[in-house]
A = this chain, B = another copy of it.
């Protein structure tokens, strides 16, 4: 069974490249360029559309909506809520990245509003953020999680039940849950924590995968696995963050179904 699922996970990449999903992103300005570049390298088509008088209609022509609450301006906040409403009406999948929600209460208000009026198909956060959203205590420092990951899968499962959506918590290991299904991914490299935007880029990739593949549990596992394996390959060649970032984008571009199948270390439950 395990191999069968990894096969499916790997196929997501081919679907992304075949369908070239238009990923509508409302995201923070720190890593907005990284998100656009990683989506292009992945095979998707990013569009950073965030004016509140543009988003409602733009969502309609999009394959997926990625909302990252990292440094939401007031204009972006309004846009994110309107865009999520449009996604609900137009049946467009939404990936939410609850950046810094454990450190900054306003993030929670925005997320609550999106949950009320819009829709969320996938929540992808770091372990600290996911535990916080699941109502548990966790250790965070600003936008970073200091959590070791113990109990993270349970938090994903609890949050998935609460919101009836796919939930992913990234860290040293990555955890993904949806209903009775869950996965633990053990690829990746610590160097991903030495560059800004690794989390945001994973979130954007989750958007790309969700826009090209029906099963959002599988698509989310695939997006995270893609980032991790590209990270492993980049780290083999580049041991410092500047060079690593460059190689990371290169290896996202050079991913293949075969590579994902061969390198993927996933435990399914």
Contacts and interface: CB of A to CB of B under 8 A. Distances in A.
Contact of A50 (B53, B71, B246): B71
A253 interface: yes
Contact of A144 (B45, B57, B249): B45
Given A75-B73, A249-B241, A197 B33 contact: yes
A76 to B, nearest CB: 9
B253 A195 contact: no
Interface residues of A, number: 58
B243 A250 contact: yes
A61 B103 contact: yes
A142 B73 CA distance: 23
Nearest to A43: B194
Contacts of A195: 37, 40
Interface stretch (A22-30, A81-89, A162-170, A216-224): A22-30
Given A40-B195, A53-B106, A71-B50, A22 B142 contact: yes
Contacts of A183: none
B31 A51 contact: no
Interface in A114-164: 141-144
Nearest to A28: B48
A238 B75 CA distance: 38
27 contacts: A22-B141, A22-B142, A24-B142, A30-B33, A30-B48, A37-B196, A37-B241, A37-B242, A37-B245, A40-B241, A41-B194, A41-B241, A47-B100, A47-B143, A48-B70, A50-B71, A58-B142, A61-B142, A73-B75, A240-B254, A241-B253, A242-B247, A242-B249, A242-B250, A243-B250, A245-B246, A246-B246
